[in-house]
Chains A and B, each alone.
Chain A
């Protein structure tokens, strides 16, 4: 079966997001192939949560993710460089506050 697989009939690619424990956000874990969303979640369970990495899984077909263009990074990100007043760096966070 593997030999016959071509790009045309390969299963679509999915991006996998895993929440490692309640209260935290879902983080991008990687990608995998699956025929549909149901199989993608099951495959994600087997590929990415075997060592108890997660309590919740999101999957989204990779083609549905729209990304910014690396060629435009100067115009998109550089203007923020000299605006130091946008950073809350003047506050001291108490040690007890985690996950900021």
Chain B
């Protein structure tokens, strides 16, 4: 994989993680257990979307600078291929609205459904704790754009992690019911945490250039962080077993299709519509 294509795929994945998790958290809008938490979640959702937007803008610029042959082969989504054939430059909206599921690179964790408050908290906690370590490393990236996006995200991520850690403790160390629900959410989502630390071709290529990092090396620190919160939350650490993966390479769970159907319907039905 050449350097620019690896950078593009890597940037897209980070953007897709943000867009999909932001969408999931946004689904709570108007449904939160209490007004204040409803606002907290949609605030967080907007942080993820904002980061995704900066990353999509960068990805679009990298894509537009690729040689024509690479552009035509990069995405399998027909709508993007059509733009390439017409020699139109793509933008952030095209990346969000015109790519099909197999061109999305987000990790499987972020597309998992909200289910209940405990699942939502657990999913955010796993992702936020990973992000807090990831963006700290990425802020030292040799790629100036990624480094500055990481720098800005770090403050937001610190707050996200504070929110999700506290809710882990509140539910875990709360009533019998909240403890049981939190433990169940943790146990079920655990199998999606392995993918956060797997290295695909793009990860290896950007790590070699000092743009990315060795993700596996973050895992011991991450596990320490998770363990300390779980101890306070009186929750049992799940045992490492088989882990799901595939999202980073475009193989998703059934849930992504439904998210994209909702997310992309208007732009697909009324191309280029604005309001």
Chain A residues within CB distance 8 Å of chain B: 1-2, 5, 11, 32-35, 38-39, 42-43, 46-47, 50
Is B39 in contact with A46, judged by CB distance below 8 angstroms?
yes
Chain A residue at minimum C-beta to C-beta distance from B36: A43
Task: Report the separation of the CA atoms of residues A47 and B42 in the bound assembly, to the nearest whole angstrom.
Answer: 11
B97 to chain A, nearest CB (A): 27
Cα A32 to Cα B33 with chains together (Å): 14
Q: Which residue of A lies closest to B163 (CB)?
A: A42
Q: How large is the interface on B (under 10, 10 to 19, 20 to 34, 35 or more residues)?
A: 10 to 19
Given the interface pairs A38-B166, A39-B166, A42-B163, the reply to whether A33 lies near B36 with Cβ below 8 Å is yes
Whether A33 contacts B43 by the Cβ 8 Å rule is: no
In the complex, B117 has a CB within 8 A of chain A: yes
B43 CB contact (under 8 Å) in A1, A5, A34, A46: A46
Q: Which residues of A contact B33 (CB under 8 A)?
A: 1-2
- B36 near A32: Cβ-Cβ < 8 Å: yes
Tell me the minimal C-beta distance from A53 to chain B in angstroms: 14
CB pair A1–B117 under 8 Å, yes or no, is: yes
What are 9 residue pairs bridging A and B, where the CB atoms are less than 8 Å apart in the complex? A1-B33, A2-B33, A5-B34, A33-B34, A35-B170, A42-B162, A43-B36, A46-B40, A47-B36
Scan residues 211-248 of chain B and give those whose CB is less than 8 A from a CB of chain A.
none
Question: Are B36 and A2 in contact, CB atoms less than 8 angstroms apart?
Answer: no
Q: How far is the CA of A74 from the CA of B166 in the complex (A)?
A: 48
- Complex Cα distance A11/B37, Å? 12
Mark contacts of B27-42 with chain A using CB atoms, 8 A cut-off: 1 yes-contact digit, 0 otherwise. Answer: 0000001111101100
CB distance from A31 to the nearest CB of B (A): 10
Q: Mark B144-159, 1 if CB is under 8 A from A, else 0.
A: 0000000000000000
A2 contacts across to B, CB distance below 8 A: 33-34
CB distance from B33 to the nearest CB of A (A): 4
Residues of B within 8 A of A43 (CB): 36-37, 39-40
Given contacts A39-B166, A42-B163, contact A50 B36 (CB under 8 A): no
Please measure, in the bound complex, the distance between the C-alpha atom of A33 and the C-alpha atom of B162, giving whole angstroms: 19
- The 3 closest A-B CB pairs, nearest first, are A43-B36, A46-B40, A1-B33
**In angstroms, how far is the closest chain A Cβ from the Cβ of B132?**
17
Complex Cα spacing A62 to B35, Å: 18
User: In the complex where A35-B170, A38-B166, A39-B166 touch, is A47 in contact with B34 (Cβ < 8 A)?
Assistant: no
Set of chain A residues within 8 Å of B162, measured between Cβ atoms: 42
Q: How far is the CA of A1 from the CA of B177 in the complex (A)?
A: 13
Contacts A1-B117, A50-B43; is A34 near B166 (CB within 8 Å)? no
Complex formed: what's the CA distance from A39 to B39 in Å? Answer: 13
**Nearest chain-B residue to A14 (Cβ)?**
B36
Which residues of chain B in 142-201 are interfacial with respect to chain A, using CB atoms and an 8 Å cutoff? 162-163, 166, 170
* Chain B, range 6-65, C-beta contacts under 8 Å to A: 33-37, 39-40, 43
